Amino acid sequence: MSGATLEAYLASFARGEDIARDVATVVQRLVMAALEVRKLVNQGALGPAFNAARGSSNTDGDFQKEMDVLCDDLFLSCLQGAPVACYASEELENPVLLDPNARLAVAIDPLDGSSNIDNNVSIGTIFSVLPAAKGPDVDPSQSFLQPGNRQLAAGFFLYGPQTALVLSLGKGTEIFIFSSRLGCFVEAYKSISIPERTSEFAINMANYRHWEEAIRLYVDDCLAGSEGPREREFNMRWIASLVADAYRILVRGGIFLYPADGRKGYSQGRLRLVYEANPIAFIIENAGGSATTCVTRILDLIPENLHQRVPLAFGSRREVARVARYHVDPNMIGERAPLFGKRGLFRA
């Protein structure tokens, strides 16, 4: 545990190159908006926009809530005048051009876990900071079609029992908690490290019958507990807020999976690469964990479009690697070998 304020932490980071100063400024601006969102979330059903449907859909077909759009407006306006060339959001079809001379691009999920707004369950904001694409007549979308390994910073705010900021500037992942007494974020976990082994998984089990065989077999083995090949008991958690599941995994380990499945529109899972999977993968890798499509590394993917979905597995390193082996390694099948060909695991 450590007690540095976020301000002091950013000031020390910003002593480096100019670009580091810009990144620090962007994080400070995002904090200003997040504290406004926190106020809205804290009001719950007493607030103006609480859980109101907007009657519109975002580009992914999700129904937008008033809060999704309100939060998007707050983050976009806090970045006006910041060193940001362009802004992309889950709630906007196309990126918004801000300052063409600026060096950074920001992609954001303004409100993650929005199905939980009315449940008084933790929700959050996820952000990714990239170098802006440069060149004459460059299309702002180009900034967001870079692989996640080019991110300069990534983080998320969690509006829960504690308001937290999980932040990685590329060397480690820190967790700051908002202190109401001091009126600022204070470092609570310095260079957090995810245990490489775990006995806890997070997945929406309701989709079991829609998953491909490799995922079903992996989960079957966890469920078999001490009587199965894992020879130990497993526990399950599913909050349905990516940010809250990620926070738990950072603090105590675990694995999160949102795989591809057979439902219409879910052939690439549910989560979006540019403003959900990439920033979460950056944070998780910087905390010693890993993040994959269930097979390959998320941060090496080159996005084809701003809103593309991607299957996602992340968390404790050994467990994430194990999920990949169910897709590619026939030795994982063990006594199920006769079923293997029939189930078509190799097709995955």
Instruction: Give the interface with Mg ion as residue ranges (CB under 5 A).
Output: 90, 109, 111-112
How many helices (H) and strands (E) in the chain? Answer: 8, 15
Which of 187, 200, 261, 276 is an active site residue?
276
By the rule CB under 6 A, 240 interacts with ligand FBP: yes
Q: What span, in angstroms and rounded, lies between the C-alpha atoms of 96 and 141?
A: 9
Which of 6, 104, 111, 301 is an active site residue?
111
**Least Å from the CB of residue 61 to ligand FBP:** 11
By the rule CB under 6 A, 241 interacts with ligand FBP: yes
Name the residue nearer to ligand FBP (CB basis): 95 or 269. 269
Residue 270 interacting partner from ligand FBP, Mg ion, none (CB closer than 5 to 8 Å by kind):
ligand FBP
The answer to whether 91 is a known catalytic residue is yes
Name the residue nearer to Mg ion (CB basis): 112 or 200. 112
Nearest-CA neighbor of 126 among 71, 53, 184?
A: 71
Q: What span, in angstroms and rounded, lies between the C-alpha atoms of 230 and 20?
A: 45
Residue 115 interacting partner from Mg ion, ligand FBP, none (CB closer than 5 to 8 Å by kind):
ligand FBP
The answer to whether 62 is a known catalytic residue is yes
The residue range among 36-44, 99-107, 217-225, 234-242 that interacts with ligand FBP, by the rule CB under 6 A, is 234-242
* Amino acid in the structure at residue 43: Q
Which of 68, 72, 213, 245 is an active site residue?
68
| Chain residue at closest Cβ approach to ligand FBP | 242
The answer to whether 90 is a known catalytic residue is yes
By the rule CB under 6 A, 128 interacts with ligand FBP: no
Residue 241 interacting partner from Mg ion, ligand FBP, none (CB closer than 5 to 8 Å by kind):
ligand FBP
By the rule CB under 6 A, 95 interacts with ligand FBP: no
Name the residue nearer to Mg ion (CB basis): 218 or 247. 247
Binding mask 50-69 for ligand FBP (x = CB under 6 A): ------------x-------
The answer to whether 276 is a known catalytic residue is yes
The answer to whether 261 is a known catalytic residue is no
Angle at 258 between CA 255 and CA 263, to 5 degrees: 155
Nearest-CA neighbor of 156 among 249, 19, 261?
A: 249
Distances (CA, A) of 231 to 206, 215, 225, 338: 25, 18, 6, 22
By the rule CB under 6 A, 261 interacts with ligand FBP: no
Chain CA centroid to CA 242, Å:
6
DSSP state of 273: I
Angle at 127 between CA 126 and CA 130, to 5 degrees: 155
The answer to whether 99 is a known catalytic residue is no
By the rule CB under 6 A, 204 interacts with ligand FBP: yes
By the rule CB under 6 A, 278 interacts with ligand FBP: no
The residue range among 97-105, 106-114, 163-171, 299-307 that interacts with ligand FBP, by the rule CB under 6 A, is 106-114
* Contact of 243 with 124, CB cutoff 8 Å: yes
Beta-carbon contacts of 325 under 8 Å, excluding residues fewer than 6 positions away, are 331, 332
* Amino acid in the structure at residue 53: A
Which burial class, exposed, middle or buried, applies to 161 when counting CB atoms under 10 A from its CB (0-12, 13-18, 19+)? exposed
**Least Å from the CB of residue 254 to ligand FBP:** 14
Per the structure block, which two tokens stand in for 196? Answer: 């490489």
Pick the binder of ligand FBP from 89, 114, 128, 278 (CB under 6 A).
114
What is Dmax (Cα atoms) for the chain?
63
Name the residue nearer to ligand FBP (CB basis): 128 or 241. 241
SS3 content of the chain, % helix, strand, coil (to 5): 40, 25, 35
Catalytic residues: 62, 68, 90-91, 109, 111-112, 276
Residues that bind ligand FBP (CB under 6 A): 62, 90, 109, 112-115, 204, 240-242, 270
